[in-house]
Structure 1
Amino acid sequence: MQNELLVKKARKGDEGAFFSLMSEHKEQLYKIAYAHFKNEQDSLEAIQEVTFRAFKAIKKLKEPNYFSTWLIRIMINYCSDELRKKKRETPRGDQIEIAAMSNNTLRLEVEEALTSLDEPYHSVIQLKYIQDLRIKDIALIMNSPEGTVKTWLNKGLMALRSYFDEKGGNKHV
């Protein structure tokens, strides 16, 4: 109820209400961005850009109850767009540097496996297992039916299993 009131105020131009909403969601947004970009600088930049985009578009939000879903969708779209741009610009050489710096091999293997997934599988698995969202909420965020989300989740998990099978067995999945 409090969020709904803040959203209504923010839609009317109340910057303080908008700031309160963004402060409440910044940790979740950071986790989503970090899961995509794997570094702090890009993740913080994503939060800034998403905050700007949300501020510009808040008046278009029709249902205040869906503010969180709407905001996450903006973040996922931004991350996907940026990753597509980076794929065109540079190869994935930075993955090797990350692996050399970290002793946590399993985490790196899982991160590598997740980045090998195409959209929407990457986002659905991240939202379900990293952000711990329900299928119903993911469907709202992805603007897709729940059955489609379940299919994407199933296909994404199968792709992860096959990725680990190719890497030497399914000991991790």
Structure 2
Amino acid sequence: MKFVQQDMELEVKRAQRGDREAFIRLFRRLEPELYSLAKSIVGRDEDCADAFQETTLKAYKSMSTLRKPKYFKTWVIRILINECNQLLRMRKRTVVMAELPEIAETDRSAPYYEDSRRLDLREAVENLDESLRIVIHLFYYQDLPIKQIASVLDISDGAVRARLHRARGILADEVKQIRKGELAYESM
């Protein structure tokens, strides 16, 4: 269940006044979204845990510097992205893509077929260039508006729109290729 904006702002104000439990509640609510974002950037669970831990610590220590409680989520996402990028730089490696489990193509029953399609789309998103993948993740999985994404990534609104447009085009091509493969498979 997502935080209602007013509830989150009240929790942020409590946390800024030193209420540790309020801070813990905030992070517990955001943890699934933050972990998912970290996973899309760094790939490995160990790295996600490290980035999340560092983000939590930095956010806790810096709560008093947050001027507008309504931007708490955006602020934390920016910290997380910076931590993920720092991990990648420190370890001097490229992003490792999470491997999706192999699914046998024997049964085309509706629930199985839909799961397979979701995995295909998820895999296509994970294979996007990092700058496109992050924008897609923030827009579709985190439900952030374009202005907040621009703020988090420190780019213009137009750049966010351009990346979304480019990523959607790539994903549309991927879906077409997947569907062509399904048609070829079905006709055999």
**Residues 9 and 144 (structure 1), Cα distance of their counterparts in 2 relative to 1, 3 Å cut:** same
2:162 equivalent in structure 1: 151
1:5 equivalent in structure 2: 10
Contact between 1:99 and 1:105, CA under 8 Å: does it hold in 2?
A: no
Cα distance in 1, alignment partners of residues 68 and 170 from structure 2: 35
Compute the TM-score of the two structures, normalised by the length of structure 2. Answer: 0.67
Pick aligned residue for 1:59 from 64, 83, 86? 64
1:76 equivalent in structure 2: 81
1:35 equivalent in structure 2: 40
Ranges in structure 2 where 5+ consecutive residues have no aligned partner? 1-5, 105-114, 183-188
Q: Tell me how many residue pairs correspond in the alignment.
A: 167
Ranges in structure 1 where 5+ consecutive residues have no aligned partner? none
Compute the TM-score of the two structures, normalised by the length of structure 1. Answer: 0.71
Comparing 49-58 and 33-42, the one that deviates more? 33-42
For the pair shown, the structure with the greater C-alpha radius of gyration is 2
SS in 2 for 1:88: coil
2:110 equivalent in structure 1: none
Question: Could you report, residue by residue, the CA deviation over 1:74-110 in whole angstroms, capped at 9, with x for unpaired residues?
Answer: 1222223323444537987x85xx566x658766654
- Structure 1 residue 123 displacement after superposition: 0.6
Q: Establish whether residue 23 from structure 1 lines up as the match of residue 34 from structure 2.
A: no
Cα distance in 2, alignment partners of residues 90 and 33 from structure 1: 11
Supply the RMSD in Å over aligned alpha carbons. 3.4
Alignment of 1:65-144 (within 5 A): 65-86=70-91, 88=93, 110-111=121-122, 113-144=124-155
